[in-house]
Amino acid sequence: MKATDVRAKTEDELKTELETLKKEQFNLRFQRATGQLENTARVRQVRRDIARIQTIMRDKRVGA
């Protein structure tokens, strides 16, 4: 997910996307703990996407 794509979304869409990513992050952590995780790079990707969304949400709040 690119920052330009995230900036184009509304606040509600960002909240929904953030919630989805946090659920996915939980599931990935659980899979890693049980040894079922196949795509280990996805953990890093999700973590960075969460940070990107949170940063842009904050920018929108402060800038508005």
Domains observed in the chain:
3-63 (1.10.287.310)
Annotate 30-42 with b (16+ C-beta within 10 A) or e (fewer): ebeeeeeeeeeee
Helix (H) or strand (E) holding 7: helix 3-7
* Cα 48 to Cα 3: distance, rounded to the nearest angstrom: 11
CB 1 within 8 A of CB 54: no
What is the tens place of the pLDDT at every residue in 7-19? 999 999 999 999 9
What is the value of pTM for the model shown?
A: 0.90
Residue tagged 């599931």 (tokens): 27
Query: What pLDDT, on the 0 to 100 scale, is given for residue 49?
Result: 97
What is the tens place of the pLDDT at every residue in 35-49? 999 999 999 999 999
CB 21 within 8 A of CB 47: no
